[in-house]
Every structure is written in C-alpha cells, then in structure tokens.
Amino acid sequence: MKKILSLGLLLALATTGLPAQSFQDAVRQAQQRLERAQQEQEALNTQISRERPGIAADLDELEQEVIRLRSEATNAQRIVQGVDVEVSQLQQQLRQIRENNNYIRSTLLNEYFRRLQVGINEAEIPLYNDKIRSTLELLEAEDRADDQTIFRAQLDLLNTSLDRLQRNIGGNAFDGQAVVEGGTIREGRFVLFGPVSYFAATDGSAAGVSVGMINNRAAIYSLPAFQSDIAATVTAGEGRLPIDATDGEAWETDRQTITLMEEIALGGMVMYPILGLLFLATIIAVFKAVELFSVKSAREKDISAILDLIREGKNDEALRYAKKVGGPVGDMLVAAVENAAEDKEVIEEILYERIINTQPRLERFLAFIAVTAATAPLLGLLGTVTGMIRTFKLITIVGTGDARNFAAGISEALITTKWGLMTAIPTLIMHALLNRKAKSVIASMEQAAVGFINGIEEMRNREQDAA
C-alpha cells in the first residue's frame, strides 16, 4: 500500500514539475496522515471488537422483541377480526331486535289496541274508550310524534289493559250510567261477569243486562223477573245472575224486534220500488179477481134453452134469455142468436171474433202481475248487493273485530231479498190463479160456441129431413 502511495506521489510530482524537497515533504506528510489513519483504524477496530458483543446481544434482544411484537400484532389482528365479526353479529341482532320491536310496537300492539277498543264491554267504554282513542290517534299521527312518546303511550295503555284483565278475573263491579228502556239515563252500578255486564239502577227502578250502546252509554235490556237477584248481586258482590246459554243471542234477538216501518227504512232505497210493485200488483190482482170471478160461465142448460126457443121460432125470447146470461158469454150468445139464420161458417167466424175480442180484455194487466213476480226478486238481489258493498266498505275501515256489527250489516242487506221474495211469491200465485181463470172463461166461451153451432146444425139437418 505504501509503495503504491509513494509511486503515486512521485508521478504526481514528476508531472507537475515540483522540486525534490517539496516532494519529500509531501511524502512525509502523507506517511504521517497514513499512520494517523492506521492508528484511528486500529482504535476503531479495537472499539468495535469491544462493543460488538453488547451490540450483538442488543440485536438479539431487538430481534426477539420484533418477533414478540409481530406475534402480538398477529394476535391483535385476529382479535380485531373476531371483534369485527362479533360487532357485525351484534349489529345484525340489534337490527333484528329493532325490527321485532317495531313489529310489536307498530303492528301487534296497534292491532291489540284496536281489538281492545271493539272488544271491551259496553259498560266499560266510558272507562277506557277515551284513553284507547287518544292512543290510536297518536299512532295515526306517528309522523308528528316521536317514538319515545308513542312507546310510552302504548306501554301506559298496555298496563291499563292488563289492570283491566286482572280486575275482571272473577267479576268486576263499578259505578256508571246506563240507558234503560224508554231512553231514560239512570245512575247505577255494573257487574261485569265474563262477556256479560249486568246493571242495577241506584233507585231500584231498573235492572237488566247491557246489549248495546246509545249515546256512548250502555243500553240495558230489562229483566223484571231477575231484578231483585241482579240488584242483590250488585249490592253484595255475590248472588244469582241470569245466564243466556246462547251467548246473548236470545236477548239480542228479542231486543232487535223491529217494526214494519223500521224494517223498510233499513232496507234502503230499493225497498220503495219493491213496495210500489207489491201495492200495484195487489190492486190489479184484486180488480182482476173481481172482474174474472164475476164472469158467468156458459152452462149447458142455457145453451139448450136458447136452442129450444130458436127451434120454436121464438127468436126474441131467445135473445132476451141470452142477454140475461150477461158477461162475455152472454154477449157471444146474443151475437149467436142474432146471426142464427146465417150459414154455419159465418156463425163460426162471428163467435170466434167475439172470443178473440174478449180474450185481451180478460187478460189485461195480468202481464204486469207476471212482470212484478219476475222483477221483485231481482230488485231484492240488487238491494242485497248494494248493502253488502256498504258492509265490506265498513269492514275496510273498522275491520272485522266485532262480528255482531258484521252480521247486522248482512241482515240489513238481506231485508230487500226478503221483501223481494215476499212480493214475488204471492204475485206469482195470483198471476197463476187469475190466468187460469181467464183461460177457463175463454174455454167456456169456446165450449158454448161449439155447442150452439152444433145445435143449430143439428136443427137444420132435422128440418131438411122433415122436408
């Protein structure tokens, strides 16, 4: 190394043309710097050799620390991934809980409250109806109320309903007002036993069972035979109570007996054309019955008597006799006597013309009775269909919680069908009887005409034989 450096210095000096003394000084300085550098290198090597074991130990410790930290990082990542999965599961469970809560709050509780509104007894309506209605109105105005307010109202009403159920177990008694028969409002006390509520007036003037609502008060069906028992039970809290095994249907049926005018009003507008047809058909049927049953049928002895008078040449007396018969048959016999001298074919045409002219007069207005018998059931069906449409529209609004109101709507709709059939059946029978009577009159006229023609023909044949 020294030779190389010396050679380099010599070449440099030779090229630069420096003097020999300067060159030697430069070599000496270079050697001094080289020696110092070597000394520094040896000191540095010595220091490195001295510090290497500690540094190696520190390096080993750092490598172990790195390994440990990497392991901890891996474990932390696994924990984070596990926590993420658990958080995701918890979030899903939270969503399900919220959905269930919304379903319970928005659907089940609302449906329960609506069923509660239509299912509570008539006597309990003044106690609970305002609270139920206010809660339902709050639910319907959900966009104008916060969830916390709605949920508190629901919980409050739910607690109220549970308290009601607890009080009603085994029977419940409470004060209230009721409308007794005649529309009078009475103060008294109710006893709720299952689905039936009994009422006894404080003054002892009335006692019975509630069967409906009038002006937001329970309507009482009086039971005079059980008044003392109901009053004693209401007062003492125990006693005998009348029970309807038909679940109120017997009392309801007895109570709902309505007058003719009320039934007509329940039937609606279709009732008026049905009743109009019934009235007109009845008037026409009475008129036709009087007209047809007053017509005398042609008797065989009348035909024989007239023929005998004609045979004896007493045409005037025969004419008077024919006029006494009266009616369509008498008119036909009068025409027959007046034309007795004509040919057989002429007499036949005259009598047939009389029969043809009489038939429309006998059958007039009968077609209206037949039309009434055919139209009345259709009008009744029309009223039923329109009534059912109104009933189903009501169901879409208030639901089907109260089956009694649903059945009442159907019964009102069927009133028109009832009256349609009540109109059609008698008018159909009347038309059949009157039409049969008219045909029997025509048949008797035809029989009289044939008898008269045959008698005239026989009489002429005898005269020819005698000649």
- pLDDT tens figures, 304-362: 777 777 777 777 777 777 777 777 777 787 777 777 777 777 777 887 888 888 888 88
- The residue whose two tokens read 């879409």 is 396
C-alpha 389/C-alpha 317 separation (Å) is 72
Instruction: Say yes or no to pLDDT of 419 above 70.
Output: yes
Worst-scoring range by mean pLDDT, 99-103, 362-366, 405-409?
405-409
Residue of 169, 175, 138 whose CA lies nearest to 153: 138
- Reply yes or no on whether the pLDDT at 427 is more than 90: yes
pLDDT, average across residues 183-188: 82
pLDDT higher than 90, residue 283: yes
Q: What is the mean pLDDT of the chain?
A: 78
Tell me the pTM: 0.46
Lowest mean pLDDT among 6-20, 47-61, 411-425: 6-20
Reported for 178-187, long-range contacts at CB under 8 A and 24+ positions apart, including other chains, are: 178/123, 178/210, 178/217, 178/218, 178/219, 178/220, 179/214, 179/215, 179/217, 179/218, 179/219, 179/220, 180/205, 180/206, 180/208, 180/220, 180/222, 181/206, 181/220, 181/221, 181/222, 183/214, 185/217, 186/220
Listed range (64-73, 253-262, 307-316, 377-386) with the worst mean pLDDT: 253-262
